[in-house]
Structure 1
Amino acid sequence: MYLRFTQRTNADGTTVRYAALAHNRRVNGKVKPDVLMNLGRIDRLDVDGLRRLAASITKHFGGDATALSDDTEAALTAGAAPMEVIDSRPIGTSWLLDALWKRLDIAAAITKATDGRHFTTNMERVLFALVANRAIEPMSKLSAAEWASEDAIICGLTAMDEDQAYRAMDLLAEADTTGQVQQAVFFAVANLLNLEVDLLFFDTTSTYFERDEEEDSTPEQRAFRRYGKSKDHRDDLPQIVIGLAVTKEGIPVRVWCWPGNTSDQQVLAEVKDDMRDWKLGRVITVVDRGFSSTDNLAYLRRAGGHFIAGMRMRDGGALADQALSRQGRYQSVRDNLRVKEVRLDGAGDVRFIICHNPDQAERDRHQREQAIARIEAELERIAAQRERDRARTRKGSLSAAAAARAEATHVRAECALRDHPTLKRWIRQHKNDRLVIDRAKVKAEANLDGKYLLATSDPDITAEETALGYKNLLEAERGFRDLKSELLLRPVFHRLEHRIRAHVLICWLALLLTRVAERSVGQSWRHIRRETARLKQVTLAGEAGTITQTTPLRPGHKGIYQALSIAPPPRVTAFDPA
């Protein structure tokens, strides 16, 4: 046991020294110090009190009780030998993610996939570094390698390079060809959080590539980056389609990738088969209107499965017309929602629920009225300008050529209005090519304000549970939004298909870790990341040796780690005496 001295330099250049009672212990062959008691600042220390304590100890155990040792006396009066900070990096967020990474068996699944292979660097640690970088400070793979080596603390990984990052991505893509990594992770998450997987929500999105041309297919391999219907409104760029399955708690449990020209109607059978291999028991799959074809819904019912599906109401289909024509009272449920269950002829055992949101109905009405007013103003402007040009032509102040050019301008304005992406739905073109507002369409749309139609094959779920379950489909959309904004799924610079798949898997793993953290802590990932990033690991070097320790734990840090049942980083992680 000994007195340990440290010092801190203030912003004004003054130095403050501290003393503590410490002892050394040996861990794995290395000597590490443990602070038993902080005594405080040396300039405020009761040195006479320490002398009395030393005298009391010597009285019982023998020795010289007259004074402290010369070295201790000098240290208390002059302070310890100065030490210099040689490194400082944030550790709080990466430490939290690493604990979740291991608890969710991701590390074990990846290690199992690499068994029997020998690498100079731990590939599991490299993959974790890529996932942690995506969750903390998204970068390219080259920058992520530099970040893990110079700017972050990744336990078990001192440094990595770009080649190791790509090798780890190849291993991840190879290990997950059968979904074994995702399956192991899912069951670990389900056990940890006691997830309810009776409802699984599925949706798709797309992400584009910064290149002008799509890939060409070869006899050995299909093209992956293809043109398709972009959900980011970038049909001019090649893309891929990404599918995501989430629980009603918002936990993403599986991810898929398909070529960019894949339609929503083509993927649901593959999703159903993949999830069936996990033997989850009774599962109700919740899908949006884009997946509600007759074949898809029939496939979802195979092997005892059920569905909740959004149905199209604005296409004028027979089902929508029948549902709206049925009489009945709405039942008020939570979240300002009203529901009404109806039975339709020829639908078999499928039940239909009409949902109505009064607030959404008011928003729909206001948006429609704004659109109609805008169309009316533009049509009046075009008609008034056309009439003025014709009057000038009759008076002879406008030549025939100028009148023809003016009429062409009016026609272009009408064409632009007719082809407008949001206004064209309210416009009808007469046989004389003049545009008018389609009043019948306006009246039909007014009857649909705030309403949407759901179908379910489950005989036990109530109308209220069906409606509220469908609303949770927003969790899948929130997952896509966070993938693209918080985790920066795009831009994607990879060219090979397996590298693109690995990139999507890394983003999915980062989303999974952040969602688990959010659900356990009850705060947004942005807040958790900002708070834990303030916990630093500092390395100091001096004549006495080198010591690595973390900054003191704040109440905010402590609350986050306690909510996740994670032990915070130790105060002292390394001590190498000179």
Structure 2
Amino acid sequence: MFIRATKTKNKETGQVYTTHRLVESIRTEKGPRQRIVMYLGEVTLEKSKWRALAKILEAKLSGQQELFEADESISVAADNAYEFYDQYKKLKADKQNRKEQQEIVPVDIATISHTDCRSLGPELVGHHAWQSMGFNEILKQCGLTAKQRALAEATVVGRLVAPGSDLSTWRWLSKQTALPELLSYSLGNVGKDSIYETTDLLLSHKEHLENSLYDKACKHFPSDQYIFLYDLTNTYFEGQCKNNDFAHRGKSKEKRSDCPLVTLALVVNQQGIIVNSHIYKGNQSEPETLNDVLERFEKSHPNQLPLFKPTLIMDRGIATKSNLLAIKEKGYDYVVIQRRAAEKDYIQEFKNIQSTFDCIDGRQESVFVKKLPVKEGKTSCEVLCWSEGREAKEQAMDEKKEQHFIEDLTKLKQSINKGYLKEKHKIEQRIGKLKTRYSAIAQYYQINIVVNEKEKTALELTWEQKTTREQRKTLTGCYVIETSHANKTAEEIWHLYMTLTQVESAFKSLKTDLGLRPVFHQLAHRTKAHLFISVLAYHLLSFIELSLREHGDHRHWGTLRSVLSTHQRSTIIFTDEQDDIHHIRISGTPETIHREIYKNLDISVFQRRRHEKIGRRV
């Protein structure tokens, strides 16, 4: 046997391609002939080694092994050639199968149309995440039937793909999605009450679902760190919610003080995977929730805690003295920003940032940190931090507040000068309201009322900046981290604290991508169920994003969902020469952007072609 090079010219482009084949000489009745044994693709090996390559390939074909080890370049070329030939044989067999199974029908092209277009791309990815996370096995453990499991998947994947109310999920399931075709159980003619019943059923198994899903996620995405991030957010209701125990007025994170609120608490790990969640009233005090959350975690993970306890990372809203004391008593490590304005105690250090602090490398915006020695009698340490980005943000906020504060003082002054406002006690009331509204800025101003002592009326209003205003400018962008990890460097502690962005990212995804806001339900148990479905959908979202991140794709789910939405499933209609009307249910051919996502997630494109004749044309 020997290797032969063959040149082929592309008639359209004129480009010449060279391919290689393994050939043998045989005797026939018509004389010696050459027969192609293997198609090798393109062989890049130098020509002087082709003979050795042919011998190796001949030995492999006959099932023999080489006595002597071949040159590495020849062995690699042989492996590549064999791989190409296997692929060639597979393609040839597929082509033969298609030829045997093909059904050729003459078609009246004027009758070709399509109908029943349904979204497929996002559903394929959501269905894959559902199966990979083992949702069905977990729900079996909870005693759910096949129909209930199918409804559960439709409800949760519906929140992932088309976030909204339970009613909108039912409409989506009925008219907009190909998800029912992916399920093993038929969901034909599902009523809207089934969606409500399913959300209630899933809520009743909340603890088992959250614990099992967290364990599954940790197996998929193991980590050598054991960090828990804790924070709270709230969302608002549409309507008065008079019979809803969770609906209370409070400080809205979204500036919706006109609506009643409900609070969601999340514990996530450093990768953004939800450990557990809990729902509180809208006016819930953040610091009061920590002990409750720790008790729930210790109850749900009793086997883990004797071995190792996580490091808790929290925002300053939760880091009260009593909470830090409770954390220490329970034996947890922690990283927090101090609740009080501790940076004021270190103003001299912050004045010398450039010379005495260490700069954290590899960031677009400058960050400087300095670790302070552990104080006598304490086990925790403090890290002073200054961030260029934080300074710019706080500066912009301060300037805006200060501008509005001065504008309102000027309006009050004009009212006094024009004689509209003369009584001192009324002016003091107005000033008090301004100080309440602009409390962060008003403390840096001295406001004086010039009074006519004889007539007891106000003549003028004046104000001036206090010297402490300059101190505030010095401390803009500064903060102090307290931690029990006294053995770590300043940079390591800062990086630990910055993992808190994972829980902030989780809240953003829940609100923006998973329909957490607003809440339309007027009853408390329906509210809990609505929020819990969003939490379950987030488990799918985090699995998808983390899986893609391993392949270098860092896009968020909102972008992925938009990209995948153009991959659809539809029914093709046409009439043949016998006037028979054909309906073919088929999935669209994925575009390149779809195939990349499916490949990274190891998803096989759903085909399930269905062909039927539904009648004859009159």
Shorter chain as normaliser: what TM range? 0.7 to 0.9
Select the residue among 450, 457, 465 that pairs with 2:477: 450
Superposition map of 1:55-70 within 5 A: none
- Which residue number corresponds to residue 358 of structure 1? 388
Q: Does residue 211 of the first structure (1) align with residue 229 of the second (2)?
A: no
Q: Does residue 257 of the first structure (1) align with residue 279 of the second (2)?
A: yes
Provide the rounded CA distance (Å) in 2 between the counterparts of 1:206 and 1:238: 10
- Which residue number corresponds to residue 332 of structure 2? 305
Question: What letter corresponds to residue 559 of structure 1 in structure 2?
Answer: E
Q: Normalised by the size of structure 2, how large is the TM-score?
A: 0.70
Instruction: Decide whether aligned partners of structure 1 residues 546 and 111 sit closer, same or farther in structure 2, where only a CA change above 3 A counts.
Output: farther
Structure 1 residue 97: deviation in Å?
0.2
- Which residue number corresponds to residue 67 of structure 2? none
Superposition map of 1:395-406 within 5 A: none
- Which residue number corresponds to residue 128 of structure 1? 153
Provide the rounded CA distance (Å) in 1 between the counterparts of 2:591 and 2:161: 20
Residues 415, 421 of structure 2: 8 Å contact kept: no
- Which residue number corresponds to residue 178 of structure 2? 153
Question: What letter corresponds to residue 232 of structure 1 in structure 2?
Answer: E
Provide the rounded CA distance (Å) in 1 between the counterparts of 2:472 and 2:111: 77
Residues 343, 479 of structure 2: 8 Å contact kept: no
Residues 155, 198 of structure 2: 8 Å contact kept: no
Question: What letter corresponds to residue 437 of structure 2 in structure 1?
Answer: H
Residues 344, 352 of structure 1: 8 Å contact kept: yes
RMSD of Structure 2 on Structure 1 (CA) = 3.5
Q: Taking every aligned residue pair, what percent have the same amino acid on both sides?
A: 20
Structure 1 residue 562: deviation in Å?
1.2
- Which residue number corresponds to residue 200 of structure 2? 170
Deviations 1:31-85 (A, max 9, x none): xxxx954999xxxxxxxxx9xxx9xxxxxxxxxxxxxxxx97xx56x76996653
Instruction: Decide whether aligned partners of structure 1 residues 91 and 407 sit closer, same or farther in structure 2, where only a CA change above 3 A counts.
Output: same
Q: Does residue 470 of the first structure (1) align with residue 470 of the second (2)?
A: no
Select the residue among 217, 220, 223 that pairs with 1:189: 217
Q: What is the SS of the residue equivalent to 1:267?
A: helix
Provide the rounded CA distance (Å) in 1 between the counterparts of 2:431 and 2:111: 80
Provide the rounded CA distance (Å) in 2 between the counterparts of 1:435 and 1:266: 42
Residues 372, 384 of structure 2: 8 Å contact kept: yes
Structure 1 residue 357: deviation in Å?
1.3
Question: What letter corresponds to residue 200 of structure 2 in structure 1?
Answer: D
- Which residue number corresponds to residue 536 of structure 1? 568
Structure 1 residue 347: deviation in Å?
6.0
Residues 414, 435 of structure 1: 8 Å contact kept: no
Residues 149, 158 of structure 1: 8 Å contact kept: no
Instruction: Decide whether aligned partners of structure 1 residues 231 and 411 sit closer, same or farther in structure 2, where only a CA change above 3 A counts.
Output: same
Provide the rounded CA distance (Å) in 2 between the counterparts of 1:564 and 1:485: 23
Structure 1 residue 312: deviation in Å?
3.0
- Which residue number corresponds to residue 420 of structure 1? 437
Instruction: Decide whether aligned partners of structure 1 residues 37 and 515 sit closer, same or farther in structure 2, where only a CA change above 3 A counts.
Output: same
- Which residue number corresponds to residue 544 of structure 2? 517
Question: What letter corresponds to residue 467 of structure 1 in structure 2?
Answer: W
**Unmatched 5+ stretches in structure 1:** 1-34, 41-49, 55-70, 217-222, 391-402
Q: What is the SS of the residue equivalent to 1:225?
A: coil
Q: What is the SS of the residue equivalent to 1:301?
A: helix
- Which residue number corresponds to residue 129 of structure 2? 100
Residues 233, 265 of structure 2: 8 Å contact kept: yes
Provide the rounded CA distance (Å) in 2 between the counterparts of 1:282 and 1:92: 41
Provide the rounded CA distance (Å) in 2 between the counterparts of 1:450 and 1:374: 21
Structure 1 residue 574: deviation in Å?
2.9
Q: What is the SS of the residue equivalent to 2:437?
A: coil
Instruction: Decide whether aligned partners of structure 1 residues 297 and 97 sit closer, same or farther in structure 2, where only a CA change above 3 A counts.
Output: same
Instruction: Decide whether aligned partners of structure 1 residues 207 and 80 sit closer, same or farther in structure 2, where only a CA change above 3 A counts.
Output: closer
Q: Does residue 505 of the first structure (1) align with residue 532 of the second (2)?
A: yes
Question: What letter corresponds to residue 155 of structure 2 in structure 1?
Answer: L
Segment drifting more, 486-495 vs 543-552: 543-552
Provide the rounded CA distance (Å) in 1 between the counterparts of 2:131 and 2:311: 30
Q: What is the SS of the residue equivalent to 2:467?
A: helix
Residues 146, 161 of structure 1: 8 Å contact kept: no
Instruction: Decide whether aligned partners of structure 1 residues 372 and 140 sit closer, same or farther in structure 2, where only a CA change above 3 A counts.
Output: closer
Q: Does residue 283 of the first structure (1) align with residue 333 of the second (2)?
A: no
Superposition map of 1:232-243 within 5 A: 232-243=254-265
Residues 322, 344 of structure 1: 8 Å contact kept: no
- Which residue number corresponds to residue 292 of structure 2? 270
Select the residue among 74, 85, 88 that pairs with 2:114: 85
Aligned length: 483
Segment drifting more, 461-470 vs 191-200: 191-200
Q: Normalised by the size of structure 1, how large is the TM-score?
A: 0.74
Superposition map of 1:313-332 within 5 A: 313-314=340-341, 320-324=343-347, 329-332=356-359
Provide the rounded CA distance (Å) in 2 between the counterparts of 1:569 and 1:90: 12
Residues 197, 247 of structure 1: 8 Å contact kept: no
Structure 1 residue 404: deviation in Å?
5.4
Residues 228, 260 of structure 1: 8 Å contact kept: yes
Select the residue among 216, 220, 231 that pairs with 2:253: 231
Provide the rounded CA distance (Å) in 2 between the counterparts of 1:467 and 1:285: 14
Residues 357, 368 of structure 2: 8 Å contact kept: yes
Structure 1 residue 229: deviation in Å?
3.3
Provide the rounded CA distance (Å) in 2 between the counterparts of 1:473 and 1:300: 18
Segment drifting more, 263-272 vs 540-549: 540-549
Instruction: Decide whether aligned partners of structure 1 residues 304 and 373 sit closer, same or farther in structure 2, where only a CA change above 3 A counts.
Output: closer
Question: What letter corresponds to residue 600 of structure 2 in structure 1?
Answer: A
Question: What letter corresponds to residue 146 of structure 1 in structure 2?
Answer: R
**Unmatched 5+ stretches in structure 2:** 1-92, 451-457
Deviations 1:259-314 (A, max 9, x none): 22321111111222233332263311100001111221232235542111111353
- Which residue number corresponds to residue 199 of structure 1? 227
Structure 1 residue 186: deviation in Å?
0.8
Structure 1 residue 560: deviation in Å?
0.2
Structure 1 residue 322: deviation in Å?
4.2
Residues 91, 537 of structure 1: 8 Å contact kept: yes
Question: What letter corresponds to residue 475 of structure 2 in structure 1?
Answer: L
Q: What is the SS of the residue equivalent to 1:469?
A: helix
Instruction: Decide whether aligned partners of structure 1 residues 149 and 505 sit closer, same or farther in structure 2, where only a CA change above 3 A counts.
Output: same
Deviations 1:332-379 (A, max 9, x none): 114321111113646610111111113433554465456545545654
Residues 134, 487 of structure 1: 8 Å contact kept: yes
Instruction: Decide whether aligned partners of structure 1 residues 39 and 215 sit closer, same or farther in structure 2, where only a CA change above 3 A counts.
Output: closer
Q: What is the SS of the residue equivalent to 1:290?
A: coil
Q: Does residue 486 of the first structure (1) align with residue 513 of the second (2)?
A: yes
Instruction: Decide whether aligned partners of structure 1 residues 230 and 385 sit closer, same or farther in structure 2, where only a CA change above 3 A counts.
Output: closer
